Structures are given as C-alpha cells and as structure tokens.
Amino acid sequence: MLNNTGHLLIFLVMVLSLTIIYKSYLELKISSQKISNSIYQLSLFQSTFAISSFLVLIVAFINSDFSLINVYENSHSAKPLFYKIAGAWGNHEGSLLLWINILVIFSYFFLIFNFNHLKKFRLLTLIIQNLLILGFVIFLLKNSNPFSALEPVPSEGLGLNPILQDPALAIHPPLLYLGFVGCSIYFSAAMASMLANYRGKSFALSIKSWVLISWCFQTLGIIVGSIWAYYELGWGGFWFWDPVENASLLPWFAITALMHSVMVLEKRDNLYSWVIILCLLTFILSVTGTFLVRSGILNSVHTFASDPARGIYILIFLSLMILSSLLIFFKFYKKENYSFNFKSKETFILINNWFMTFFLVTVFIGTLYPIFLDVLTDVKISVGPPFYNIVIIPLVIPLLLLMVFGPQFNWINSNKFFSTKLIILILGAVGVNLFIFFIFGSYSFLTNLIFISSIFLIFYSLIELKKVLQKKIKYNLPRIISHLGFGMMVLFIGINHQYSLEDDFNLKVGEEKKFSHYEIFFDDIKLKEEKNYKAVIGNFRVKNIKNDTTQSLNPEIRIYANPETLTYEAAIKTRISSDLYLTMSNISRSDFYNIKFQNKPFMIWIWISALTIVLGGFLQLLNRRNEN
Amino acid sequence: MKISFYKIITFVIVFFLLIVFWLGLQKDNSYNTKSLVGTNLSSFNLPSINNEDTITENYLKNNKFTIINFFASWCAPCRIEHKYLLNLSNNGIKIVGVNFKDKKENALQFLNELGNPYEFVAQDVDGKASISFGIYGIPESIIVNDKLIVIKKVIGPINQQIYEEILENLK
C-alpha cells in the first residue's frame, strides 16, 4: 500500500516538474509583468506532494513496514521511535528523497518571495530548478527508490547501524542537506541571471538571503557532524580530514567566499562574474561531494553501501551540470572593470576570497590526489592531517589579521589604517599569549603567532561589540559576532591541540594507574539491559592530584543485537575548563580492559565558538527580514 | 563564442577531472591481494626471533615448496590453525614462520606451549615487512616454490579442507 502511495506521489512531482517547465516556457513569451497564478499553484502542489511522499516514508519507518526494502534494510521494530524516524533519512535512498524535497521547497519559496524581481529571471530560475528536480527524481526512481517493495514481507528488519543511533547524527543529515541542496536555488538563479541578462545589484538582492540560509545550515551541519564524531566515535577527536568531511568543506569554502563577495555586488555593483562563478561552483561542489561519498570511489568512515551504477548516474548528471554552466557562462560573459581603491572594503573582501579559494584548492587537491594516483599509476596512498596542517595553518594567521583590518574600511575609499588603539590591542594580545605560555608551558613560534592573532581578533571584536551595543546599531552586529566566533574557535582549537593529555593502558577491575597529575581507579563493572542493547558499564574514578578533586566516569561497551555490533561509548565529563574523556574496550580472552584516557582543555568552548559563528549568520537573516 | 586560452584550459581541466572520476568508478576499490598468486616474491631480509640469524629469499630456493606463515601470540585464530601447521611440518613440508607485531617472550611461550612447526622463525616487530608480502591481517600464509613464485595464498586460518588441499598438491 505505502509503496504505491509513495510511487504515485513521486510520479506526480515528476509530472508537475514537466508541466511547470512547459508552462513557464510559454509564459516567457507573454509580455505581462506578473507570473500567472497557475504556476504558483502547480509549484505549491509540487511541494505538497514531495513533502507528503517523505511523510509516507517516515510513516513506513514508524510502523516498521518491512514490505519496503528500504525499511527492512535500515530499521528494526525494537528501535526507539526517535531513531525509527531518523532512519528515514539515514540511508542513501531516503536521503535522496529528502534532497528532492529541499529542491522542490526552495523552488517554491524562491518563486513566492522574489515577487519584486524581473519576471523572465524568475521564470528561468524556476525552469532550471525544475530541470534539476527532474534529474534527481529520475535518479531516485531508476536507481535509488526508497519505495521499492519486498515480497514476501519479512517479519523483522536488519536494523540501523548503532553508531548512527545518536541524536546529533539524527539531525546532521537534514541540516547538511538544507545547506548543500539549498545552494541549488542560486545555481539556478545564476544561470537564469545570465540568460535573462538580469545582472548586478538586483541579482545580488535576489540571492542574498538564500546564500545566508544555506551558509547557516551548512555550517551548523558540519558542526553537528563534528560533535557527533567527538561523542560517538570514541577517538577523542572532532576533525579527522577524512575525505567525506573534506567533501563537505569544499562547498563551504565556496559559499563563505560567496557570502562575502555578494555584498560587493550588492553595494558596489561589481564582481558580478565572480559571484556567478561562486554560485555555480558551490552547488557543483555539493554534487561532486555527493558523487565522491555515494559512489564508493573514496574509502572513508562514511561509506554508504556503494553501487557503481549510482556513481555513473551522478557523474553523468554532474558532467551535464558543469558543461552547461560553463557554456552558458562563456557565452554570456561580459568584461567588467575592476577599479578598486586599495584602501577600501571591497579590496579586503576580495582578499578574503583569495584565502577561501586557496583553502578550497588545498582541500580539493588533498582529497582527490589519492584518486588521481590510484587511477593513473595504481599506487594507493592517503593524504592525512600533516598535509592540511602544514598548508593551511600558517595561512590562518594573515586571515585572522585580515578579519580585524578589513571590516574597518569603508566602501570605495577610506583613509584609516593603523591607529594607536590597534597597537594597544596587539600589545594586549601578546600579553595574553605570554600569560598562556607561562600557565601551560611552551609551544612553537607558529603557535605563538596563531594565538596572538586570534586573541587580537577576539579583543577587537569585543570592543566593537561593546560599541555596537551601546549605540544600539544593529547593522554590524552579525559580522562582529561571527568574526568573534572564528577568533575564539582558532584560539580554543589551538590550546586544545597544544595541551591535550592522552594515554593508553590496560587495567583490570580493582587496579589503578597514575598518569601525569591524574590517578585513575577502575572500581568495578556492571551489566545493564536496555531496549535495543546490552551494556557493560565500567565504574572509574579519576582523581586530579593537583587540586584534589575526584570525578566518576562510566564508559560503556554496548552490544547491539540488530545488527549485531559492538560499540564503545566514551564517558565524557564536560567542564568549563576541560573535558575528561575515557573509553574502555575489552581485550578478548583476558580480564584486562584497554583504557584510553584524555584530558582535553576548553573542548566545550570549541563548540560554543563554532556555534557563535553560525549565530552571526542567523542574526544577519533576522536583520534582512527587518530591512525588508 | 570566441575561443580563448582560458576557455581551453578550463575545459581541459574539467574533462580531465570527469575522466579521472569515471576511471575511478571502474576500478575495484576493495583491497585485494589474491592477485599475488603467480607473481614473483620480492627479495627480503628478516631477523630471526632471537636476533641470532637472518633469513633472505635465498633460503626458499633450497626447498621445492615453502609455506610462509604469519602468526602472533595474541591472535586467536592462529591457535586454531596451529595443529594443521604441525601436521604439515610432520609431513615434511618446510614452513617459515613470521612473527607479526608481537613480543618476543610471548611468541616463544606460544611456541613452547603449542609446539614449533617452523624451520625458521623470523620476526616482524612493527608489521612493515609483512606488507611487502601482501599481508593485511593474520593469520595468513603464502606458499612459494623454489623459483620464488607464489603458488597459493591462504587468508585466515588453515582449516581441514585447506590442509588437505595443501597436502595433496605439495606431496
């Protein structure tokens, strides 16, 4: 039953796509200023059907309807309700349906919210967006159908991988898709803008909010993924330069560059071609990322069940997208005059874009180099953190300084440069850096520079923040908050990286171990039965000899039945100044447990600062709503 | 549309990328060392477990067939296959053991406890030398003839069936 309903709804979405394309095409020739009501209605129906189809899938997961292959393969009747629902998008087929939903909903919203823009531009955007929708719907029906039926109906499902049963991971994919697929709308708008010759400031105004929305969700999605890795994977890290993480970072660099340069287009009516390139690139990189992740071409912790046919389809789609956007871009390219005064805001925004491009290219090469090498020479290598650390970290220093100086400049031309205030701030930053140096211990020259420049940015942002709050000007607030967040993030990651303590040892119940200024007692173990797993819980006490405090930590080894899997749950004590992190794993045929203990300073502050960056984005969205 | 240098470069890069992606899809990505069979063993030089001697590929040239078995005291399946190794050795088949990522005392105790089927016990403390034999987990065994050609590779513990096959083929 549900499979037919699902198929019908998807089919309707496809038919409506074709109708909208056809109707919009006819409408292009009519000279009236308004878009006819029927297109609005068709678009609304399309969204309704798409959302309904996704709800049908969720209902199938809630009811554990194993007549659908997708539910059978990814769910189990004994799973908690929350994870049953999350199961709907925790797999390739379901996530593709979510993907289509976002394409359709953004298409509708772009249509209704941009009523004051040129009709031809809006219609062309709608047509291109629906071509994208069509492509993905065909992919879904042909190759990745979440509604495929299973006969005979099995009595029980295979279950969802337990490491995916985590609240952070349940919301990670929807956030990321909102971010990545949201980019599709300004991909379509960029193409339409060139075709309709709707350039400059008005184009910037039409896409600005959409760029912000997708930037906010992308950033949030990446942060949540990182939080999941920290709490769930049990390695104590939060960023691994894993190919799939990199794939999510590529569009993020492009969109961050775009978010800045679209301001130049809005205020100065300049950089049009560059903005178009970034619009196209962001979505192309999103699809490239999807290709890399879903085709199985990269080996990574995020491996989805890979299927070469799936890869070929996305690759064909990607090639069509890239080639058509290149052809249109070159055909409609018009030479622009860039005559920026060096001492102006736009110059600094352009420099920001160079940095983003540099990071983008670095991560792109690092991620794809192993594929090139494998294909061209049959040598298998993997590119790890040392490469990224060496190439990226030194350039963070000038970026941080740029984030202080850039925003001070006015548009067009300004006369300020160094002021005594800034020199005092730099001296203050050096002072705080020395303070950290003496409290915690020494570090390299490069780390010194990173600390100084990030503290400088934090100081500067705080002073600006105070000014803005006193004068109650809201205009600059989002930027200040985001830049403050970035400065804090670099500083706390730096301190965390520099001063984490870590040790690995084997302990029996009743034993204890001394390590640095900690004493770890392994008191006992308990067994516990939960709805969908059994757990072995260790009871540890960690004593800090320096300040004579004791914390109890309870790491778990969980045995899930469906599918049969062992997971190791880290015990994490989060405190303002540092996190204690302890995992235990069993050693077969022995009474010993392998214990991994870490003390990670300022861990929670890394999340707080990352979320501060996003907060700036959301504030800006509110600002824009008020402006309108 | 005018043809310019930038356009050509852009298209060349895009096509290059797409073609690499396409070729990448065609490749079998799973790490597989089955193709090792029939190839020549590269030269090697490993110290013995008590560091008194070394073994090189020349050692293998003296036997018509040699089994090179990779084992460790911490590896449970190695214990299971051990009796088959002892039987093979009793049947006159030469076996070289490579002790993989192990402590010397534990390895010697392992052999004391279960018996020593090996003509020679080599050590590979950090597991790096074993990689050049195409080993990615233990237990694994490769069978090499006197011309140093790999004629069989066993991934996982030797069981009754594999044991009989080996005995059949090598006698």
Residue A249 is encoded by which pair of tokens? 């970072």
Element (H, E) at A581: strand A578-586
Determine how β-strand A571-574 pairs with β-strand A565-569.
Answer: unpaired
Return the pLDDT at B30: 54
Q: Which residues contact A130 (CB under 8 A, 6 or more apart)?
A: A17, A18, A20, A21, A24, A107
Please give the span between the terminal C-alpha atoms of chain A, in angstroms, as a whole number.
46
Instruction: Decide if A546 contacts A560 (C-beta within 8 A).
Output: no
Instruction: Decide if A88 contacts A6 (C-beta within 8 A).
Output: no
Domains, in order of start, for chain B: 34-170 (3.40.30.10)
CA within 13 Å, CB half, A473: 10
Residue type, A201: K
Asked if B20 reaches chain A (Cβ–Cβ under 8 Å), the answer is yes
Element (H, E) at A25: helix A2-28
Return the pLDDT at A358: 96
Query: Residue holding tokens 């997208």?
Result: A321
Q: What phi, psi does A338 have (nearest 5°)?
A: -100, 105
CA B146 to chain centre: 17
Between A43 and A297, name the one with better pLDDT.
Answer: A43
Determine how β-strand B150-155 pairs with β-strand B140-145.
Answer: antiparallel
**Furthest C-alpha separation in chain B:** 81
Return the pLDDT at A588: 66
Rounded Cα gap, residues A144 and A549, in angstroms: 55
* DSSP code at position A164: G
Q: What residues pair up with A571 in beta bridges, in sequence order?
A: A582
Residue A545 is encoded by which pair of tokens? 């000899």
Instruction: Decide if A39 contacts A20 (C-beta within 8 A).
Output: yes
Return the pLDDT at B29: 54
Confidence bin at A482 (pLDDT 50/70/90): very high
pLDDT exceeds cutoff 80 at A585:
yes
Please give the span between the terminal C-alpha atoms of chain B, in angstroms, as a whole number.
75
Average pLDDT, chain A: 88
pLDDT exceeds cutoff 90 at A371:
no
pLDDT exceeds cutoff 90 at A52:
yes
Asked if B29 reaches chain A (Cβ–Cβ under 8 Å), the answer is yes
Q: For chain B, 171 residues long, give each residue's pLDDT as a single digit of tens.
A: 677 888 999 999 999 999 999 988 887 655 556 667 777 887 888 888 888 888 888 888 888 889 999 998 877 778 888 888 998 888 888 899 999 888 888 888 888 888 899 989 998 887 778 877 877 777 888 888 888 888 888 888 888 888 888 888 776
Confidence bin at A408 (pLDDT 50/70/90): confident
Return the pLDDT at A17: 97
Nearest neighbour of B1 by CB, restricted to A297, A311, A330: A330
Q: Which residues of B touch A323 (CB under 8 A)?
A: 14
Instruction: Decide if A529 contacts A501 (C-beta within 8 A).
Output: no
Confidence bin at A500 (pLDDT 50/70/90): confident
Nearest neighbour of B1 by CB, restricted to A297, A311, A331: A331
Return the pLDDT at B115: 87
Confidence bin at A615 (pLDDT 50/70/90): very high
Report CA torsion sign: A228, A234, A238, A241.
negative
pLDDT exceeds cutoff 80 at A441:
no
CA B78 to chain centre: 14
Average pLDDT over residues A231-246: 81
Which of B10, B16, B18, B25 to mutate to probe the A interface, most A CBs <10 Å?
A: B25
pLDDT exceeds cutoff 80 at A554:
yes
Asked if B61 reaches chain A (Cβ–Cβ under 8 Å), the answer is no
* DSSP code at position A149: B
Residue A69 is encoded by which pair of tokens? 């292959």
Give the model confidence (pLDDT) of A384-402 as tens digits: 788 998 899 999 999 999 9
Q: Which residues contact A530 (CB under 8 A, 6 or more apart)?
A: none
Report CA torsion sign: B104, B109, B112, B116.
negative
Which chain A residues have any C-beta within 8 angstroms of a chain B C-beta?
291, 295-297, 299, 306, 308, 311-312, 315, 318-319, 322-323, 326-327, 330-331, 368, 371-372, 374-376, 380, 588-589
Omega of the bond prior to A563 within 30 degrees of 0, cis? yes
Give the model confidence (pLDDT) of A181-237 as tens digits: 999 999 999 999 999 999 989 999 999 999 999 999 999 999 999 998 888 776 778
Rounded Cα gap, residues A51 and A421, in angstroms: 55
Give the model confidence (pLDDT) of A9-26 as tens digits: 999 999 999 999 999 999
Which of A586, A587, A581, A621 shows the shortest CA–CA distance to A600?
A581
From residue A3, give the alpha-carbon distance in Å to each of A98, A139, A149.
Answer: 17, 17, 6
Average pLDDT over residues A450-468: 91
- Residue of chain B with shortest Cα separation from A299: B29
Rounded Cα gap, residues A293 and A311, in angstroms: 9
Return the pLDDT at A453: 93
Give the relative orientation of helices A345-377 and A243-268 as an angle to the nearest 10 degrees: 150
Asked if B24 reaches chain A (Cβ–Cβ under 8 Å), the answer is yes
Give the model confidence (pLDDT) of A25-37 as tens digits: 999 988 888 888 9
CB atoms B10 and A326 under 8 Å: yes
Percentage of chain A exceeding pLDDT 70? 95
Q: How many CB pairs under 8 A join A and B?
A: 47
Residue type, B109: Q
Q: Which residues contact B35 (CB under 8 A, 6 or more apart)?
A: none
pLDDT exceeds cutoff 90 at A286:
yes
Report CA torsion sign: A176, A180, A181, A182.
positive
Element (H, E) at A553: strand A549-553
Shortest Cα distance from B77 to chain A (angstroms)? Answer: 12
Q: What residues pair up with A514 in beta bridges, in sequence order?
A: A519
Confidence bin at A485 (pLDDT 50/70/90): very high
Q: What is the CA radius of gyration of chain B?
A: 22
From residue B27, give the alpha-carbon distance in Å to each of A308, A368, A616.
Answer: 10, 15, 44
Shortest Cα distance from B99 to chain A (angstroms)? Answer: 20
Return the pLDDT at B78: 84
Instruction: Decide if A104 contacts A50 (C-beta within 8 A).
Output: yes
Residue type, A448: N
Which of A461, A464, A433, A428 shows the shortest CA–CA distance to A446?
A433
Query: Residue holding tokens 């090189």?
Result: B56
10 Å CB burial of residue A94 (0-12, 13-18, 19+) is buried
Average pLDDT over residues A544-549: 87
pLDDT exceeds cutoff 60 at A240:
yes
Instruction: Decide if A129 contacts A183 (C-beta within 8 A).
Output: no
Rounded Cα gap, residues A2 and A464, in angstroms: 57
CB atoms A291 and B20 under 8 Å: no
Query: Residue holding tokens 């590779």?
Result: B153
Interface pTM, i.e. ipTM: 0.83
Other C-beta atoms within 10 Å of A551: how many? 15
Nearest neighbour of B7 by CB, restricted to A296, A330, A368: A330
From residue B10, give the alpha-carbon distance in Å to each of A281, A330, A370, B45, B171.
Answer: 13, 11, 22, 50, 63
Other C-beta atoms within 10 Å of B157: how many? 21
Rounded Cα gap, residues A567 and A162, in angstroms: 7
Domain segments of chain A as ranges: 1-165, 173-417, 501-603
Angle at A379 between CA A376 and CA A381, to 5 degrees: 115
Q: Which residues contact A291 (CB under 8 A, 6 or more apart)?
A: A297, A311, A314, A315, A318, B21
Average pLDDT over residues A441-470: 88
Residue A232 is encoded by which pair of tokens? 């769930």
- H, E, C per residue of B99-154: EECCCHHHHHHHHHHHCCCCCEEEEECCCHHHHCCCCCCCCEEEEEECCCEEEEEE
Three-class SS of residue A285? Answer: helix
Instruction: Decide if A571 contacts A582 (C-beta within 8 A).
Output: yes
Instruction: Tell how many helices (H) and how many strands (E) occur in chain B.
Output: 6, 7
Element (H, E) at B94: strand B94-100
Average pLDDT over residues A467-484: 83
CB atoms B20 and A312 under 8 Å: no
Return the pLDDT at B162: 86
10 Å CB burial of residue A165 (0-12, 13-18, 19+) is buried
Most confident of A75-84, A103-112, A526-535: A103-112
